[in-house]
Structure formats: C-alpha cells, structure tokens
Structure 1
C-alpha cells in the first residue's frame, strides 16, 4: 500500500470512528435526558453475615434492604439499582475480601450492611482510600476517619449507655457484666459498664471488670453461670446475638442464677432467636432503638409489608437496613437533581439530608458521629397473643447528639 493510500485509509477510519462516536454520544444523550434519567443504574454492594454465628442477623439485614427496593419498584432516587450481595461470614478474614471484590471488580458506587464492628474497622481504610460511602446498618465501632462512613443503626456503645440508669434504679445491689471477647462485644459492654459506674452502679465481677467469653467458640456458659452465682450479684447485664444468644438464654434459664433479672442489649432476643429460645426468654429486659409494636404510620406500613413476605415480625436489623435504603433513596435523588450521580455526590448528599421519617420514629444523622440522633426503648419479652414478643415497656433516653 502506498503512502497516499495509507493516508486516505487512515482518514476514512478516523471519519468512521468520529461518526460512531457522535452516534454513541447522541444515543447516550437521549437516554440520560430528563425523560430517561430513571434508566441510569446505581450499583450498590450489600455485605452481611449470610453464614456463621451471625447468619440470622445478616439474613435480616439483606431482607430489610431488599424489602425497601421491592416496595419502590427496584429504584432509589429514581435510578435503577443493581444490588450486589456478598457474605461477610464471621468477621474481617472474610469481610475484607468481600468488600475488595465489590469495589474493585463489581465497581460499586456505595456499600451497605456489615454485621460486625471488627468488619467495619477492617474495611475503613479501603472505603476511605476509594472514597466509597458506606451506609452501614448494624455495628458501628468508634472510628477516627468517618468522612465516608454513615450508619443507620447507632454507635456500638449506645445500647448499654441508654439502659444503665434504669438498671441502677431497678436493681438493689451489684450487677454482673458478661459478653463475647471481640470488637463488638467490647464496644457494647463498655457502653454499659462506663455509664453504669458513672451513675453510681457497682459491678459484681470480682475484679470489677466485664467477664469475657471466647468468640465464637463459646457454646457452654454453665461454668460462667456457676461463677456468677458465687458473687452475690443481684442481676446480670450481657451482650449476645445470633446463635450465641440462643445458647446463653436457654442455659441461663436452667442455671442456678435463673431467678436473677437479665438485662441486655436488644439483640439477645431479637428476630429468629426468640422463637428458638421459646419460654426460656420470658421476662428478659432489653434496650433497643426499635420494636415492631411502635405505633406510627411509617412502622405500620413497614410491618405490614414485612409480614406479607415473612412469617415473623421485623427486627431492628431489618429496620436499620430498610432505613439504609431510605437514606440512599433520598441521597441519590438529591444528587440527581444537582447533576451527576456517583460515589462522591451521593456521600455529599447524605450529609445534607436532615430528618428521616422512619419506622423507629423520626431521626437525623449526627454531624459528629454520622449515626442517628434517636430515641431508645426498654423492652421486655412478654406474651403477645399465643407468641412471645419484645414489648416496649417505656421510653429511655435520646442519644446520638
């Protein structure tokens, strides 16, 4: 081929490419105009424990988010959602690879879910480095750099802090503190013991510190209950969830300390663990930011939609994940109004959302912690018809500011 021929051929190729590019841009413009904006897709990665000790928690987290999508035509903020789901397992060793895949391979715009506090801490550098907002819906440990970290649940030390004064007022004597030896357990129990001692409460533990049970391998709590019986404790405060909560409650009811009042963060009797515990859970007091019997319009709709698909009432895990979807619904919509929808614009929009109408009651994000400023409730396991349920007994404090 001569030099002139090659030149002509090159011009033809460039011309053809230019035409193709013009057509592609025109087609794209037709799809992204005002009438076609709904067809753009946002990719969201949901990480939760779909195996391991906290499978019941992770399953509810997944289903709560999916319920919001199902009741909103699979869209958030008017945009179609491509939901990628990954298994967190029992913590960081499986959670971190799952997060990396979602960010690097699946190219998600947002992450949500995450069951364990240890998983959140392990993922934080990855989230921050890639500037991907994490709208978590369960454990939230204290973190130093939280620009891209938001949670619809609470700080992990808040449940214990919310109930401490009530326990001090109700229990005439020392209280024994016991929980699982991992990040979430430490955060949850610290919240109670710090607040309890601050209001003048006394721990029955011989060394004045929480007793830790190895996680996740502890399934026999009998030796610990025997030790508690020898301390003169007048009540017990604990934090357990998932299968560990089932084991703890069943064995507690059969132990020498079965007559001692049991107080806990609400996860001890939350969700599918309560039917598994059966009558052994009756009378347990717990503290949480949600209960299925709350009487407000948003909760009535949420409960109705949930029970249409499930055989049991919704849990705080499902509700918090539902609210994560609601957060993203508003944020994506706000970002779309101002122009491009991407990780950065979604994150910026979350910061300016203001009040969120929720099944738990209206709440808003704290500027300091990126967690809700919200009401806490004291619940007790009581008969509700033919079944046992977590029934709200009284309002406790408002935390999160």
Structure 2
C-alpha cells in the first residue's frame, strides 16, 4: 500500500484514518442528504488552476484536492451530482479572463473554485462579481475592494510572512536578507514579513534595508542574488517563491556560498511537487504554513488517509487541503440553498456559515475580509522515516480579522 518513501508519521495517520474515509466514501453530510431527497439535478462547478505556466507545479494539487473530496462524497455537493468544469489560468491574470467568461456565460457554473495566482484573482473576481457568481479561491489573496462574492480558503497574501516575522526577529540573532518576486503577490507576501519583522525589532540586511525583488517569471538563476547574502552579514534568509521559481531558488541556495545561512520562507516553497523536485536541497528549510499533514485531528486523519490511498501514501500539500475545504464549503452551502440553486443563493449560504471543521483545525471566515481566521504553524523540512517531509515543530500565531 505504501511507498518506502512515505513519512512514518503519515503511515500511522493513513492507517487510523482509513476507516473514516471508507465510511464517508458513499455519502456526504447529513444536510446534503436532505437536499438530495428533494431531487438530484446535476450542477456545474468551475475550477480554475495553473495547469501550464510558471505555477504548474502547484496547479494540479488545487485540482486534485477538490476532486478527492468529490471522490469521497459520491461525486456530489449538497446532494447534487457535479460536473467539474476545469480551466487553465496559465501564467495568470489576463490569460484566465476568457476561461472565466466561458464558465459564467456558456457553462452557467454555480460557483468558481481554485485560482493559484493573485493576478488571476484580480482579473477574474470582478467579472464573477458582476455576474453574481461566488468565487471560492484556494490560492493566496490580495487586498480587493469588493469581496462580496469572494471567499478565500487559504489566507491573505500578507499572512505567511506576518506569522513568521516576529519569530525570526526573536530567534535568528541578527539581520535577515529578504527575497521575493516582483509582482503584486510577492510585494504583499514580503510586506507581511517586513512589517511584522520590523515591529518586533528585526532589521533587514539587504541594500538600503529593503527586500530584493527578482524579475518574474524571467528569473531562473538566483545565483547572482544569493552571492550578495554572505557579504551582507545576514544571519538568515527569508523568501517567498512558488512553483518553478521556488524549485530554482532552493537548488541555487543549496549550492551557493549562502548555503550555510538558514533559509526561512512562506510554506509554498516546499509544498507538494516543489518539494519532490527540490529533493535533499530542501533539507532544513523552515517555513510558516497554516497546515501540516501531521496535525492530530479526526478531520486531518481522514484527509491524509484519503490522499495517501489515492497517491501512494504521499503527504498531502496545503494547496490540496485548501481545495478540499473549498469543496466542503460548497457542499454545505449548496445543501443549505435547497431548491433555490442559484449562484446568489449559494453566495448567501456561504456568508451565513459559522465554524468550519477542517484538516488544518477549526476556522471561520472573517466577516470583513472573507479570509479564514486561523492558526499558523512553524514547520521544518526533515527526514521522517525514509522521506523528506514538512514536519510541524511549533505554533506561530492566529491571524485573521
């Protein structure tokens, strides 16, 4: 059942959770059952993710987490059989606009899930909002003026760095060199770190005391940037990168003169396919994340078990968990909408939700930002059995408003 590379902690979690998953596989929630009794009219849900482009290492996990929830709930949400309409956001932004328009205008989706890149959020959400279609997004979230139809399952883009900043200020024993990509998501991620880091008394080692932003997606060789770190006297590095950029940064760091300087990062740098591609180069990296596969709870054991059974015992990444939660939220909202299955009714049902039981722990959507109020964890890449894994080593902070 298990690959020899499956982390030891996850083998135990999969074994414990298997009974729960088998019990859930043939049914959905009790509220979904009530909706099913009123009729099982098929529904269409859109899911936009990066299947090509710079974030293609992350994109499949967003799809697979949502599909896994469907697989374990009879391919139904709220008692209705689901047609999942999948679209590729590619490099994000404008490339996703025709995808979203087709889903809304031709396919008549009840909701759109997914979305990896923040430029895609900025491009797609106004279109969906104008059409009254809720977006249940699973990637990072920039600040948006109108969030009436935007519901985020992951985090605000400032949150990962905001959770890590105080910890590094108190524990690294000196200045920190900070890196990120030069697009809005990168600016937001680094702002979250630098604001909380400075507030806690930390200082940057970068020239001028400001983060270094690398051209995106053009930068594939980070060696020239890393060459400046050792000479700066920095005691640690903090960065935010995803997808191909994350893989390249980690590999370059591990072979650079700065390899002995500890690397801290937002957790996406070692998530899912990125960690596989990085291999031993990622060993020892410390990250902040709102999920770790070794969280001890019934909901997480069920999720880890379901993922492990489908993917040869591998550890589920946070990106897949966000999509699992997106499907769960839609399951509950569609059931609550009853016979009034319109996008606006589903949006209203999401707005009325209280606490959500999730693999990451119980959380609730902020009434102001529509982002989870949730706990953040400190993780470290290390050997767990015979495999590298993101292992939880501590708690950071609860963030949300």
TM-score computed with the length of structure 2 as normaliser: 0.90
1:177 aligns with 178
> Which residues in structure 2 correspond to 1:249-268 (within 5 Å)?
249-268=250-269
Q: What is the CA–CA distance in structure 2 between the aligned matches of 1:77 and 1:287, rounded to whole Å?
A: 34
Q: What is the CA–CA distance in structure 2 between the aligned matches of 1:297 and 1:216, rounded to whole Å?
A: 40
- Give CA-to-partner distance per residue, 1:136-193, whole Å, 9 cap, x none: 0112111010000001101011000011111011111110110111121111111101
Verify: 1:296 aligned to 2:297, yes or no: yes
1:116 aligns with 117
- How far off is 1:36 after superposition? 5.6
> Which residues in structure 2 correspond to 1:2-401 (within 5 Å)?
37-311=38-312, 312-336=314-338, 339-401=339-401
User: Cα RMSD (Å) of the superposition?
Assistant: 1.3
Range 86-95 or range 61-70, more displaced: 86-95
Compared CA separation, residues 254 and 350, structure 1 to 2 (3 A): same
Q: Contact between 1:64 and 1:318, CA under 8 Å: does it hold in 2?
A: yes
Q: What is the CA–CA distance in structure 2 between the aligned matches of 1:325 and 1:132, rounded to whole Å?
A: 16
- Give CA-to-partner distance per residue, 1:255-297, whole Å, 9 cap, x none: 1111111100001111121122111111110000001111111
List gaps (5 residues or longer) in structure 2.
1-33
Q: Contact between 1:42 and 1:79, CA under 8 Å: does it hold in 2?
A: yes
- How far off is 1:242 after superposition? 1.2
List gaps (5 residues or longer) in structure 1.
1-32
Bigger RCO (CA 8 Å, 6+ sep): 2
Q: What is the CA–CA distance in structure 1 between the aligned matches of 2:381 and 2:36, rounded to whole Å?
A: 51
Q: If you compute each CA radius of gyration, which structure gives the higher value, 1 or 2? A: 1
Q: Contact between 2:36 and 2:80, CA under 8 Å: does it hold in 1?
A: no
Q: Contact between 1:38 and 1:80, CA under 8 Å: does it hold in 2?
A: no
- How far off is 1:343 after superposition? 0.4
Q: Contact between 1:134 and 1:148, CA under 8 Å: does it hold in 2?
A: yes
The SS at the match of 2:68 is helix
- How far off is 1:34 after superposition? 7.8
Q: Contact between 1:37 and 1:79, CA under 8 Å: does it hold in 2?
A: no
Q: Contact between 1:380 and 1:391, CA under 8 Å: does it hold in 2?
A: yes
- How far off is 1:123 after superposition? 1.3
Structure 1: 4+ residue segments shifted above 4 A: 33-36
- Give CA-to-partner distance per residue, 1:301-326, whole Å, 9 cap, x none: 11111111113211000000000000
- Give CA-to-partner distance per residue, 1:174-215, whole Å, 9 cap, x none: 101101111211111111011111111101111111111111
Q: Contact between 1:283 and 1:381, CA under 8 Å: does it hold in 2?
A: yes
Compared CA separation, residues 248 and 118, structure 1 to 2 (3 A): same
The SS at the match of 1:39 is coil
Range 34-43 or range 52-61, more displaced: 34-43
TM-score computed with the length of structure 1 as normaliser: 0.90
